[in-house]
Structure 1
Amino acid sequence: MEHVRTLLDRVILTVCCGLFITMVMAASWQVISRYALNSPSTISEAFLRFSLVWMSMIAIAYVAGLREHVSLTLFIDKLDGLWKVMLEISIEILFIFFAVFVMIYGGTQAAYNTMSQIYPMLGIPKGVLYMSLPVSGSIIVIYCLMNCQQILQDSYSFRSQS
């Protein structure tokens, strides 16, 4: 399972870094074309908006996979043993429910409903933008399942050492 996590991490980091580099180049071209050539690029701003949404959604999935998301650790830090494991698993299950029902189901519906609308500057369906929701939701579910397995594995190895 650790091999799958490492592979998924590398793919996500490569995609995010590639998108970021492309966004920097597009923003630089926007500035050059606007001020140096006095003819602003029409698609770079739309591309940047589109890319920012995709990169943000994929990065959110990555951070959720690392369990570095914003959370209140007040209760988890005070617990130990079985209660701590149960609370950590419960948090992961809540993430899974949110990802499945809001991101995957809702995102798929939004993408399906907007596939006939064309993004004017880029000439692609708006549904492609909304597909970032089910893609990142699916990644979150995969990461949460791996996190649950890791939590259970860590608690089992801790109990067997005691």
Structure 2
Amino acid sequence: MITVRKLLDRIIQFFCCSIFLLMVIVASWQVISRYVLNSPSTVSESFLKFSLVWLSLIAIAYVAGQREHVSLTLLTDRLDGILKHISNILIELFFIAFAAFILLYGGTQSTLNTMSQVYPMLQVPKGLLYLSLPVSGAIIIIYCLLNISDIVKSPKKNRGVTS
């Protein structure tokens, strides 16, 4: 399980860093083409919107997998022992339910419904934008299963921020 988590972490880190670097380059090109060349790029703004959606959703999946997401710990901080572990598992199960129904199922439906529509400036199917939803949902589910496995295997060890 540790190797699966490390591999997934590396892939997501590489993806997010690459997209972010590409966004910086494209945004720089937008500024140069607009103010220096006096001929603004028509594709760059659309690309930046498109890539920001992908970057945000994949980064959210990564943060949820690391259990570093924003959470209210008013109740869980007062629990200890088996109750704390049960609450941590329940929280992971809620994440799985959200990811499965909203991101995976809903995202797949949105992707299929918009695959025939074309994103005007980029000339790619709009479904590719919505594809980020089921992809991030699948990543969240994998991470939550890994988190549950960690919680069950080592109940004395408390990984990251308790949710």
Shorter-chain TM-score: which interval? over 0.9
Residue matched to 1:58? 58
Number of aligned residue pairs: give it: 158
Letter of the 1:122 counterpart: L
Residues 116/31 of structure 1: CA separation in 2 closer, same or farther (3 Å cut): same
Residues 4-59 of structure 1 deviation map (CA, whole Å, 9 limit, x = unaligned): 10010000000000000000000000000000000000000000000000000000
Q: Could you state the TM-score of these two structures normalised by the residue count of structure 1?
A: 0.95
Correspondences of 1:144-159 after superposition (within 5 Å): 144-155=144-155
Q: Is 1:105–2:137 an aligned residue pair?
A: no
Residues 115/157 of structure 1: CA separation in 2 closer, same or farther (3 Å cut): closer
Structure 1 alignment gaps of length 5 or more: none
Correspondences of 1:115-134 after superposition (within 5 Å): 115-134=115-134
- 1:76 Cα offset (Å): 1.1
* CA distance in structure 1 between the aligned counterparts of 2:124 and 2:152, rounded to whole angstroms: 44
Letter of the 2:114 counterpart: T
Letter of the 1:34 counterpart: R
Residues 76-117 of structure 1 deviation map (CA, whole Å, 9 limit, x = unaligned): 111111100110000000000000000000000001000111
Residues 128/157 of structure 1: CA separation in 2 closer, same or farther (3 Å cut): closer
Residue matched to 2:41? 41
* CA distance in structure 1 between the aligned counterparts of 2:59 and 2:91, rounded to whole angstroms: 19
Letter of the 1:77 counterpart: D
Residue matched to 2:4? 4
Percent identity of equivalent pairs = 63
* CA distance in structure 1 between the aligned counterparts of 2:132 and 2:157, rounded to whole angstroms: 37
Letter of the 1:108 counterpart: T
Letter of the 2:83 counterpart: W
* CA distance in structure 1 between the aligned counterparts of 2:104 and 2:110, rounded to whole angstroms: 10
Q: Is 1:68–2:83 an aligned residue pair?
A: no
- RMSD of Structure 2 on Structure 1 (CA): 1.2
- 1:156 Cα offset (Å): 6.7
* CA distance in structure 2 between the aligned counterparts of 1:18 and 1:74, rounded to whole angstroms: 37
Correspondences of 1:77-88 after superposition (within 5 Å): 77-88=77-88
Structure 2 alignment gaps of length 5 or more: 159-163
* CA distance in structure 2 between the aligned counterparts of 1:58 and 1:107, rounded to whole angstroms: 14
- 1:151 Cα offset (Å): 0.6
Structure with a larger share of its residues in helix: 1
Letter of the 1:105 counterpart: Y
